[in-house]
Chains A and B, each alone.
Chain A
Amino acid sequence: MSTHIAGMGVDVSLTVNGERVTRRVEARRHLIDFLRLDLGLMGLHTGCEHGVCGACTVRVDGRIVRGCLVLAAALDGATVETIEGVSDSGEIRDLQEAFIARNACQCGFCTPAMLIAAADLLAAKPQPTRAEIREHLAGNYCRCTGYHAIVDAVEATARRRNGGAP
């Protein structure tokens, strides 16, 4: 199997937030531009575009990835979940509420990707230490909060999910 459509785009069919999407994309189109510019899903952000800032963190086939380091053309058959999807499903409502309660979002640029990365940690490790939270979020830059409030919010969510006080 191979597709060879130089300069003419690549046909892809994938699932985005539960909906089937079929598009012809330019080969160099990365996933975040595909989501934002082709599908109008503006929740996740284009930051550094070379895999350092983490603002484009998105789920592909259940695992978090850097949206800027994945080609849309390579995702034929994949399942993609964005911040819009995990917000609408209610999956991270408690985490979002904790971010608000702890003032863990200021300008908001990093917040959607921060939520997706934090949700990934909590799914794999329901009771992370503060050091583990910092380690898991080390690939997501925040230039406002100094991270402390973000770590507080993730820790509070873990505590609440384990039956403790927020």
Chain B
Amino acid sequence: MKAPPFAYVRAATLADVFRLWAEAGPDAKLMAGGQTLLASLAFRLSDPGTVIDISRVAELFGTAQAGGAVRVGALTTHAELGAHELVRRHVPLLAEAVPLIAHPAIRNRGTIGGSLAFADPAAELPACCVALEATIVARSLGGERRIAAAQFFTGLYATALAERELIARIEFPVAKAGERATILELARRSGDYAMAGIVARAQVSGGVLADPRLVFFGVGDGPVLAGSAAAAISGKPATAQAIAAAQAALEADLDPPEDQHGSPQMKRQLARVLLARALHRLARPQEARAA
């Protein structure tokens, strides 16, 4: 279907964005890569009146290392994120996640800021941010605000962003020695939204998983931190017995809604399978992982 009519304005600077946003009124939508917005306009799920194109706002670009973090500008495309040397070296989970996000043509245009702001419950990057304990740096006319990823996603397509506040950048802690993280998902077609997915992160030493952080996606109204399953595997090697205990504990962490992919029972089953695979993968000797 064709999008409803709307006005289009383009901002070159953040000052432009806030001025145009104030002029356009509360229904206006920001467009970064447009990969979600334009699809939702085509479905007429959205009728924004005005689209404010922020894709050329210089302040929202750039990836750099600052202290113990890698800062990623909100307008970084998925393709750029996965290819960036700092990301590959210091936050390798993100490079592992990028090939799972949609298809190449969409990864060339979709942005990390857009993905986080839209907060699709089946999206990969929100779950990665929660697992990696990233900080989302929001910007409004009043200045900057730092929001921990675990507090950023507040519900179905809902975030902690206030009115006329946008994501400026995301800060990812540099991976520590011995830290491992992995992402797995199950989708009907490669690149489609996941039926269920997991991001798992832990300190691994001699096959023992310490400080595990397990985040599921596609099984709730946002990224779901599985605290009971993590507690069950914490300090243990990924033996069949320990994994079975984590799978049993996972039941209390999840309350998956039925969706177009299947029933809550099916989602729980997929989550259990993903949990086992992810824990095996984390605990595997490093040489085998590199192969």
Contact = CB atoms under 8 A, between A and B. Distances in A.
Interface in B1-19: 1-12, 16
A1 B5 CA distance: 23
Contact of A71 (B1, B16, B34, B189): B34
A57 interface: yes
A130 interface: no
B248 interface: no
Interface of B: 1-12, 16, 20, 23, 31, 34-35, 38-39, 41-43, 50-51, 53, 55, 79, 99, 102-106, 108-109, 189-191
Contacts of B55: 74
Contact of A74 (B10, B39, B50, B189): B10
Given A66-B106, A138-B190, A51 B10 contact: no
A63 B51 CA distance: 24
A65 B109 CA distance: 7
Contacts, number: 112
A117 B103 CA distance: 10
A54 interface: yes
A66 B109 contact: yes
B79 A63 contact: yes
Contacts of A7: 5, 7
Interface residues of A, number: 38
A69 B51 contact: no
A3 B24 CA distance: 13
A50 B43 contact: yes
Interface of A: 1-7, 10, 26-28, 30, 33, 49-51, 54, 57, 63-66, 68-71, 73-74, 76, 117, 120-121, 134-136, 138-140
Contacts of B3: 28, 30
Given A1-B16, A4-B20, A51 B106 contact: yes
Contact of B5 (A27, A66, A69, A121): A27
Count chain A CB atoms within 10 A of each CB in B7, B50, B51 and give the residue with the most: B7
Contacts of B42: 49-50, 68
B14 to A, nearest CB: 12
Count chain A CB atoms within 10 A of each CB in B34, B35, B50 and give the residue with the most: B34
B35 A1 contact: no
A26 B16 CA distance: 22
